[in-house]
Amino acid sequence: MVEVSNKMTVMPGLRKIYGRPQSLKDVRTHYCPGCGHGIIHRLLCEVIDELDIQGRTIGVSPVGCSVFAFDYINIDFADSLHGRAPAVATGIKRSQPDKIVFTYQGDGDLAAIGLAEIVHAAVRSEKITTIFVNNANYGMTGGQMAPTTLIGQKTTTTPFGRDHRECGYPLRIAELLATVEGVVYLCREAVDTSARVIQAKKSIKTAFERQMAGDGFSLVEILSPCPSGWGMPPIKAREWLRENMMPQYKLGKFKDTREG
């Protein structure tokens, strides 16, 4: 990610129209070039700024590449053991009900080892929001298969491509959670083009607003490129996401209790 500094002075006569959100720290990222996590962090920060909730938002980071989310997002944060973020967030929200609490989780964290926790947070309709980053593999540990890995996709633990007879089928989290009554707002977005980035931000904002209104559990799944784990350059990764992930993981809104 290119470093964008807010310290840049705006020249007289020019209007500043794009800068770093206030809640995004001015530090260098540890994410790989072309990684989706950086974009999603930024969107979160923009939403936090626009809703003016920096001072009363608490984040829970997962185990995964985004474990250091608190190094970038300048709000209170807890990290959690692998997959347990929704349980930790439950504890926080039940202790601080007037705060806005969210979890930020990868697909290994949420859909594999933490599936029980996310389903039951949804079942209880915890008043928390989950940002679910689906990059079809375990980025942090070196590109192993995740539950979301596509059929035929090569990873370090599926060297011959994922074979459904051995490893089953890709798990569609948004579709799965749509069956849970406790979910109030649920959609799947992607961050491969600027139009979709803008759409993803809208959804994150709505999810937070629904939590703030006290409605219940909201989740935004985001398809996100992982050039390192997929072993391809950033531009190619975006194309791969469009051509391979999107047919499997349809974008759109899966549930909104306000729309009935």
Partner 1 sequence: MAAIMAGCRKYFAYPITPQNEIPEYMAAHMPEVGGVFLQAESELAAINMVYGAAAAGERAMTSTSGPGYSLMLEGISGIARAELPVVLVLVMRGGPGIGSLENAQLDYFSATKGGGHGGYRNIVLAASSVQELFDLTQLAFELADYYRVLVMLLVDGILGQIMEPIEIMPFSNGKTRSLPAKTWALTGTGRQRPQNIISTMLMREDETYQWHQRMAVKYQKIQAEEVRYDSYCLEDARIAVVAYGMTSRVAETAIDECREQGLPVGLIRPISLFPFPYQFISQYTHRIEGFLVTEVSMGQMVEDVRLAVNGRSEVSFVGRGGGLLSHQEITRGIRELWLKLATK
Partner 2 sequence: MQREVIIAGFGGQGVLLIGQLIAYSGMLEGKAVTWLPSYGPEIRGGTCHVIVIVSDRRIGSPYVTQPAAIIVMNRPSLDKFEDRLNSGGILLINSSLTDRLPERKDIRVIAIPATDLAHKLGNSRVANLVMLGGYLGATEVVGLPTMLQALQEVFPEDKHHLLPLNKKALEVGMSYLTEP
Ligand X SMILES: Cc1ncc(C[n+]2csc(CCOP(=O)(O)OP(=O)(O)O)c2C)c(N)n1
Binding region for ligand X (CB under 6 A): 62-66, 82, 106-109, 133, 135, 138-141, 146
- Distance between CA atoms of residues 13 and 32, nearest Å: 36
Considering the complex, state which of residue 138 and residue 249 has its C-beta at the smaller distance from partner 1.
138
Considering the complex, state which of residue 54 and residue 156 has its C-beta at the smaller distance from partner 1.
156
Does residue number 32 form part of the binding site for partner 2 (CB under 8 A)?
yes
| CB 89, min distance to ligand X, A | 16
Phi then psi for residue 106, to 5 deg, are -85, 180
Does residue number 165 form part of the binding site for partner 1 (CB under 8 A)?
no
Considering the complex, state which of residue 49 and residue 71 has its C-beta at the smaller distance from partner 1.
71
| CB 132, min distance to partner 2, A | 22
**Total residues binding partner 1 (CB under 8 A):** 24
In this structure, what DSSP letter does residue 72 have? T
Q: Report whether 92 contacts 103 (CB < 8 A).
A: no
Q: Candidates 18-26, 28-36, 84-92, 161-169 — which segment interacts with ligand SF4 by CB under 6 A?
A: 28-36
Residue type at 75? I
| CB 225, min distance to ligand SF4, A | 7
CA atoms in the 13 A half-sphere facing the CB of 125: 12
Q: Candidates 27-35, 87-95, 122-130, 135-143 — which segment interacts with partner 1 by CB under 8 A?
A: 135-143
Name, in order, each residue with C-beta under 8 angstroms of 11's C-beta and a sequence gap of 6 or more: none
- Distance between CA atoms of residues 118 and 223, nearest Å: 18
Does residue number 65 form part of the binding site for ligand SF4 (CB under 6 A)?
yes
Considering the complex, state which of residue 30 and residue 258 has its C-beta at the smaller distance from partner 2.
30
Q: Which helix (H) or strand (E) holds 13?
A: none
Q: Report whether 249 contacts 172 (CB < 8 A).
A: yes
Residues in 91-110 that interact with partner 1 by CB under 8 A: 108
Does residue number 138 form part of the binding site for partner 1 (CB under 8 A)?
yes
- Distance between CA atoms of residues 117 and 87, nearest Å: 6
- Distance between CA atoms of residues 10 and 192, nearest Å: 30
| CB 40, min distance to partner 2, A | 18
Burial (Cβ within 10 Å: 0-12, 13-18, ≥19) of residue 77: middle
Which does residue 115 bind out of partner 2, ligand X, partner 1, none, counting CB within 5 to 8 angstroms by kind?
partner 1
Which does residue 156 bind out of ligand SF4, ligand X, partner 1, none, counting CB within 5 to 8 angstroms by kind?
partner 1
- Distance between CA atoms of residues 55 and 68, nearest Å: 19
Among 183, 123, 112, 179, residue whose Cα is nearest residue 149: 112
Which residues are at the interface with partner 2 (CB under 8 A)? 30-32
Which residues are at the interface with partner 1 (CB under 8 A)? 63, 67, 79, 81-83, 108, 112-113, 115, 138, 140-142, 144-145, 147, 156-160, 166-167
